[in-house]
Amino acid sequence: MKCSMNREALVAALHKVVGVTEQKKTTMQVLSHVLLEATSDNRLRFSATDLDISLRTSIEAQVDVAGQTSVPARKFLEGVKELRQEQIHCELSESDRLNVRAGTVHYALATIPASDFPYFETVNPAHIHDLDADTVGRALESTLYAVPQEEDALSVPGMFWHPKAADRVRFVSSDGHRLALREIPFPAGEFFGQDSGVVVPRKGIQEIIRLLEKTDSAAGALHENRLIFQTGDTYLSVHLLEEAFPQYEMIIPETVSGWIEIPRGEFYGALRRMAVVTDASAIHVRFLISENLLGLEAGNVEIGTAYEEIPIDYQGESFAIAFNIRYVMDVVQTFSGRTVRFEWVDGFHGGVFRDPEDPSILALIMPMMV
């Protein structure tokens, strides 16, 4: 195997695959590698898999000798990023080292034979649907924060793709303490068919977001138990979760007792100041709502306390409730409107956060008893 390629194109391709190769728990070293295939039609193909998520992409290359091998994806990327020459030269030695050269710099990377790399199957669905990459990507980003980081008995570690009409889908995530929801235009009728929705694992969502970041158009499809995405020369396959997503609509209140609107920039700034006196033992922020005033209170005796007031337009009864401050900050960060609307039922039901300028987005956070 011997080939040369543009450094920027190589870095971009490795950025696409490196996330797939990174796992917290694996006993298979080859899963941290990227499979390189230099082909006779002057392409360099990159394949990565963790057995649940698989990604393949390719770039143009000058291929002098076709061949294949696998190298540690992260180390390959880190090394190439430090090079300054435009052209990178790669050659597999007789001792099975991948020699990477640029100017006077020479890396000799350890490899694992391509024959040891897991079988990579590329599925071509019968029907694939054009998608608005920017709209889908932004919607996934704005709801990812509520997907559980780890598996537990109380939540599903994935995002629910819930078709709401023939031309709309709702992305829903929840870790049992909070819920995030966004609804967007989407060819749901054709995409899901008779399926009532699918659950996509957190890592799969992260890879889809990464894939859609630098493209305007994409195509996607469901095939058996997989979600397929394609953009240009890149193919992504994600195994869906089998767990049923909870009946989330039951916890969204149909009526509320009160609501206020808060300037978003001022609100987020105040939350950052409250966060200074919070830690794992005192992670809450209290909302103290009274006539034309929102008071924010945080901290405890051991750390110290903080209090700040924000003027609001409110004429109802006084109300107090506490939330995990990190959860509230996550919500406010994902909104883009000038104000945040906060709605409540009482001190025991979840508080609802809305963006008045974007009715497609909603968040709900369960209160803390402090």
The pTM of this model reads 0.93
Tokens encoding 218: 């994409």
Q: Which residues does the chain have with pLDDT short of 50?
A: none
Query: Which pLDDT score is estimated for 304?
Result: 96
Tokens encoding 116: 């040891």
> CB of 180 within 8 A of CB of 172?
yes
Q: Which CATH superfamily is domain 252-365 in?
A: DNA Polymerase III, subunit A, domain 2 (3.10.150.10)
In sequence order, what are the residues at sequence separation of 6 or more whose Cβ sits closer than 8 angstroms to the Cβ of residue 161? 169, 170, 171, 192, 197, 198, 199, 200
Q: How far apart are CA 31 and CA 66, in angstroms?
A: 23
Q: How far apart are CA 367 and CA 298, in angstroms?
A: 14
CATH of the structural domain 129-249, one choice from 3.40.718.10, 3.40.50.720, 3.10.150.10, 3.10.580.10: 3.10.150.10
- Residue 264 one-letter amino acid: R
Specify the CATH architecture of the domain 2-116: Roll (3.10)
Query: Which pLDDT score is estimated for 154?
Result: 77
Query: Which pLDDT score is estimated for 174?
Result: 96
Q: Helices then strands (H, E): number in the chain?
A: 7, 25
Encode the chain in three state secondary structure: CEEEEEHHHHHHHHHHHHHHHCCCCCCCHHHHEEEEEEECCCEEEEEEECCCEEEEEEEECEEEECEEEEEEHHHHHHHHHCCCCCEEEEEECCCCEEEEEECCEEEEEECECHHHCCCCCCCCCCCCEEEEHHHHHHHHHHHHHHCCCCCECCECCEEEEEEEECCEEEEEEECCCEEEEEEEECCHHHHHCCCCCEEEEHHHHHHHHHHHCCCCEEEEEEECCEEEEEECCEEEEEECECCCCCCHHHHCCCCCCEEEEEEHHHHHHHHHHHHCCCECCECEEEEEEECCEEEEEEEECCCEEEEEEEECCCCCCCEEEEEEHHHHHHHHHHCCCCEEEEEECCCCCCEEEEECCEEEEEEEECCCCC
Tokens encoding 170: 């709702």
Q: Using alpha carbons, select from 78, 61, 90, 66 the residue that is nearest to residue 21.
A: 78
Q: How far apart are CA 68 and CA 1, in angstroms?
A: 6
Residue-range domain boundaries for the chain: 2-116, 129-249, 252-365
Mark 272-283 as b/e (b = at least 16 C-beta within 10 Å). eebbebbeeebb
